[in-house]
A and B are shown apart, each in its own frame.
Chain A
Amino acid sequence: ETGVTQSPTHLIKTRGQQVTLRCSSQSGHNTVSWYQQALGQGPQFIFQYYREEENGRGNFPPRFSGLQFPNYSSELNVNALELDDSALYLCASSLAAGGYNSPLHFGNGTRLTVT
């Protein structure tokens, strides 16, 4: 069974630039969620994708956007980067949306530094 993989592992960008982070979900999982974890905080929900559509969104501005592809892999795009976007970005997959007891399986994250 292939786990959740994310790329790149680390990334350094300049304020105002754009970034794309990638995620391959665990085999058989059709739902992908993205989380942002700032230093010393718990992960914060950004959004979730199911069947290539956004299925729910947290309190993040529109410059955070995403895509899900037919093979259930996903991208997180952030435009106009700000210093506060520096964080660990986590992708998690699960089997089905609306499954309240479905645990999330996280990838090892992309650490983004904005300078």
Chain B
Amino acid sequence: RKEVEQDPGPFNVPEGATVAFNCTYSNSASQSFFWYRQDCRKEPKLLMSVYSSGNEDGRFTAQLNRASQYISLLIRDSKLSDSATYLCVVNGAGGYNKLIFGAGTRLAVHP
């Protein structure tokens, strides 16, 4: 089993749609959770951290369920510029800042 698993995608949605990505992780000792965004042939960039109480940043909402080891990202009112691959990221155990990435879910927003 992979340490971080995501919806395979791709998700093709029209502008204005709401889309949700799901992610599960295997290591119950993980302490930090993130969503990164990666544009084609570019480096990953931090989209948002994910906190236990859930958190929102504009059109983006992240949720964490530690009991189920499940993370989600909701994007409301999708824009063409949201088209990218979204990477679910979990901090691995080991006493240092090692990030474990999911394979990513590709989102394509069309007019």
- Report which A residues bind B (CB closer than 8 A): 31, 33, 35, 40-45, 48, 50, 55-56, 58, 90, 94, 96-109, 111
On whether the beta carbons of A97 and B96 are closer than 8 Å, the reply is yes
On whether the beta carbons of A48 and B97 are closer than 8 Å, the reply is yes
Kindly count the residue-residue contacts between A and B in the assembled complex, taking CB atoms under 8 Å apart. Answer: 66
Chain B residues near A33: list those with CB within 8 A. Answer: 97-99
On whether the beta carbons of B99 and A56 are closer than 8 Å, the reply is no
- B57 interface residue, CB < 8 Å from A? no
Shortest Cβ distance from B6 into A: residue: A42
- Report which B residues bind A (CB closer than 8 A): 4, 31-32, 34, 41-46, 49, 87, 91-92, 94-104
Are A43 and B97 also in contact (CB < 8 A) when A100-B91, A107-B43 are? no
On whether the beta carbons of B96 and A42 are closer than 8 Å, the reply is no
Report Cα–Cα, A104/B32, bound state, in Å.
Answer: 12
On whether the beta carbons of A98 and B96 are closer than 8 Å, the reply is yes
On whether the beta carbons of B44 and A101 are closer than 8 Å, the reply is no
Chain B residues near A107: list those with CB within 8 A. Answer: 43
Report Cα–Cα, A100/B49, bound state, in Å.
Answer: 11
Are A103 and B95 also in contact (CB < 8 A) when A40-B103, A90-B44 are? no
Chain B residues near A31: list those with CB within 8 A. Answer: 97
Select which of A45, A94, A106 is within 8 A of B43 by beta carbon: A106
Are A56 and B34 also in contact (CB < 8 A) when A103-B46, A106-B43, A109-B43 are? no
Report Cα–Cα, A44/B94, bound state, in Å.
Answer: 16
Are A41 and B49 also in contact (CB < 8 A) when A33-B98, A101-B32 are? no
Select which of B43, B44, B97, B104 is within 8 A of A100 by beta carbon: B97
